[in-house]
Amino acid sequence: AQSVSQHNHHVILSEAASLELGCNYSYGGTVNLFWYVQYPGQHLQLLLKYFSGDPLVKGIKGFEAEFIKSKFSFNLRKPSVQWSDTAEYFCAVNARTGNQFYFGTGTSLTVIP
């Protein structure tokens, strides 16, 4: 079965620390890749997406992600986090077969002022 793994379930960082959240998927075919953020009590917002081209994708709020096809990974990074980045972060994969859209289990990020 296809799957999306986010190994970091809960990350706690101090402000200005660097962030990297892992995302690995198991599907071997063509995929589109996404990172969504969900602030407390709010809806899912798209941070960034990869469809094709440059594997280093820039998103909103200073986030970026790198698609490494050989590692089936799409890790999210931010050089310096802020308290306002406290949220749930979900990786998602849109696989060609049956247009399946798989979410990872999510990573809860807490940034301490």
Partner 1 sequence: DTEVTQTPKHLVMGMTNKKSLKCEQHMGHRAMYWYKQKAKKPPELMFVYSYEKLSINESVPSRFSPECPNSSLLNLHLHALQPEDSALYLCASSRGVGISRGNRTFGSGTRLTVV
Chain residues that interact with partner 1, rule: CB under 8 A: 30-32, 34, 36, 42-46, 49, 51, 88, 90, 94-96, 99, 101, 103-106, 108
Which residue, 83 or 101, is less far from partner 1 as judged by CB? 101
Smallest distance, partner 1 to C-beta of residue 46, A = 8
* Nearest to partner 1 of 13, 44 (CB atom): 44
Residue type, 95: A
User: Minimum distance from CB of 77 to partner 1 (Å)?
Assistant: 21
Nearby residues of 97 by Cβ (< 8 Å), 6 or more positions away: 27, 29
Listed in sequence order, the residues at least 6 apart from 83 whose beta carbon sits closer than 8 Å to its beta carbon are: 15, 111, 112, 113
> Encoding tokens for residue 17?
């620390």
Measured from the CB atom, the residue of 16 and 100 that comes closer to partner 1 is 100
With vertex at residue 107, the alpha carbon angle to CA 20 and CA 73, rounded to the nearest 5 degrees, is: 50
Residue 58 or 80 having the CB closest to partner 1? 58
Shortest distance in whole angstroms from residue 60 CB to partner 1: 14
Burial of 79: CB neighbours in 10 Å, binned 0-12, 13-18, 19+ = exposed
